[in-house]
Amino acid sequence: MATYKQIKQVAYDANMQLPKLGLVTFTFGNVSVVDRSLGVFAIKPSGIPYDALSTEKIVVVDFDGTVVEGKLRPSSDTQTHAILYKNWEDIGSIVHTHSTYATAWAQAQRDIPIFGTTHADHLAGDVPCAPPMSDKMIEGNYEFETGVQIMNCFKERNLDYREVEMVLVGNHAPFAWGKTPSSAVYNAAVLEEIAKMAHLTLQINPAAVRLKESLIKKHFERKHGPDSYYGQ
């Protein structure tokens, strides 16, 4: 069984990947890492710049978002992470950023269309954009309701969070997740790249069309299908 110190270290390492990958500016993002055997997750503290972050400053909370170790307030997005961990049991880590291109698509309230094979290597469909939250949700427990909005989007679209590991929240920003911290950070970086590619595609050709199904199937299944052959 892991210790709080160990999951704090893993969470710190994952958080420090965000500025290295150009996914955050100032304090605009966070990574959390769950340990289900301990019933807790570790998350970046609220409002701490990345160059001032340390393993000791990482906060450990339970699935209700209550601090169990740490002297600082956890990320303001903690309740969003908590509800996703509670309901999606195969998630090991969650990343939230305000990366430029993915956030621009969220602000435009648009799914990111699957235009090319880079997108299809990671996802067999468009990146979903959940609708902007209702006034009632915003005025209530906002961060908790953000998680509800994400889950509602997946339910309404009949999406599986184990297959679609990224989402945009309308008017807000992207979230990504994975079974491990490294895969969650990877998915956040991939999301930003395909958001940028889609944006440039539409600038070059505003009438660009969706990737045809045969190419989607080929590229997704060669990495993720039962007979996948990509990699070693």
Per-residue pLDDT at 227 exceeds 80 = no
* Summary mean pLDDT of the chain: 95
Please give the pLDDT value at position 222.
85
Identity of the amino acid at 44 = K
Please give the pLDDT value at position 225.
74
Per-residue pLDDT at 26 exceeds 80 = yes
Which structural domain, as residue segments, surrounds residue 106?
Answer: 4-224
Per-residue pLDDT at 1 exceeds 70 = no
Does residue 189 lie within any of the structural domains? yes
Does residue 230 lie within any of the structural domains? no
**Annotation says 121 is catalytic:** yes
CATH of the domain at 33: 3.40.225.10
Please give the pLDDT value at position 55.
97
Does residue 198 lie within any of the structural domains? yes
Residue of 62, 64, 160, 230 marked catalytic: 230
pTM: 0.95
pLDDT average, residue stretch 177-198? 98
H or E element that contains 117: helix 117-120
Does residue 159 lie within any of the structural domains? yes
DSSP 8-state code for residue 98? -
pLDDT average, residue stretch 20-27? 95
Q: What is the dihedral of CA 173, 200, 109, 21, to 10 degrees?
A: -10
Does residue 217 lie within any of the structural domains? yes
* Model pLDDT for residues 200-226, shown as the tens digit of each residue: 999 999 999 999 999 998 988 887 777
> Quick one: pLDDT band at residue 189, thresholds 50, 70, 90?
very high
Q: Are 105 and 169 in contact (CB under 8 A)?
A: no
* Model pLDDT for residues 93-133, shown as the tens digit of each residue: 999 999 999 999 999 999 999 999 999 999 999 999 999 99
Number of domains in the chain: 1
Does residue 199 lie within any of the structural domains? yes
Q: Where are the beta strands (DSSP E) in 22-90?
A: 29-35, 40-43, 59-62, 67-69
Residue of 13, 111, 121, 126 marked catalytic: 121
* Model pLDDT for residues 66-83, shown as the tens digit of each residue: 999 999 999 999 999 999
Radius of gyration of the chain (CA): 18
Does residue 145 lie within any of the structural domains? yes
In the chain, what percentage of residues exceed pLDDT 70? 100
For the sheet containing 174-178, what is the strand order? 67-69, 59-62, 40-43, 29-35, 93-97, 174-178, 166-169, 129-130
- The position carrying tokens 């880079």 is 118
pLDDT average, residue stretch 162-180? 98
**Annotation says 230 is catalytic:** yes
Does residue 229 lie within any of the structural domains? no
